[in-house]
Amino acid sequence: MAFPLKIALIAALSLLAACRSDPIQFHTLTPALPSGNTRATTDIQIEGLTVPPQVDRPQIVVREGNTGMAILETQWWGASLVDELRSALLDQMVNSSPQRKVSVRLEVQRFDSIPGQYGLLDVKWRLRSDDVVMMSCRSTLQTRSGPSIDELVAAQQTNVKRLAALISQASSGTQKTCPSTNPG
């Protein structure tokens, strides 16, 4: 009786081992190195942030060809994409005019990730100071990427860093037009 039990146990363990999936890897849009900004009460606040529903999920979504998308089941964001973007932007935006409160509302139009090609971030954003709209802008940022997911995430980190710099520049109030999105 013990022999059939051992065989059944070994068979069950073998089946469970065969069903093992690859471990999930987590990624973040906040760079590992601190931005160097000192946190203060004059930071730029984020009123609202939306992303397209196609990428609004915990898994990283990449484009395939002209019409396809792939949801990477083993490559996840550390938080929801909205929360990842919010954290990364808050970490890097600076209000250089501490005498006034500044806030921004962001609508991500596209968040494209194409391994081996580029990461693209296309955002409409509105900057406000004391309930007065300072400016409404649209920034399209694209950074080359290598073939790995780590390189793709790094490209999107660069896009977020550039967007944070544009918003910080606009919050200074010294210009009346949207800042240029020339590659940095």
Q: Where are the domains of the chain?
A: 24-171
Contact 90, 103 (CB under 8 A): no
pLDDT of residue 15: 66
Name the architecture of domain 24-171: 3-Layer(aba) Sandwich (3.40)
What distance in Å separates the CA atoms of residue 108 and residue 125, rounded to the nearest whole number? 8
Reported as a single tens digit per residue, the pLDDT across 90-148 is 998 887 666 678 899 999 999 999 999 999 999 999 998 877 778 999 999 999 999 99
Classify burial at 52, counting beta carbons within 10 Å of its beta carbon; exposed 0-12, middle 13-18, buried 19 or more.
Answer: middle
What distance in Å separates the CA atoms of residue 120 and residue 131, rounded to the nearest whole number? 30
Q: Which amino acid is at 77?
A: W
Model pTM? 0.83
Band of pLDDT at residue 79, cut at 50, 70 and 90 = very high
Other CB atoms within 10 Å distance of the CB of residue 67:
6
Average pLDDT, the chain: 86
pLDDT of residue 108: 98
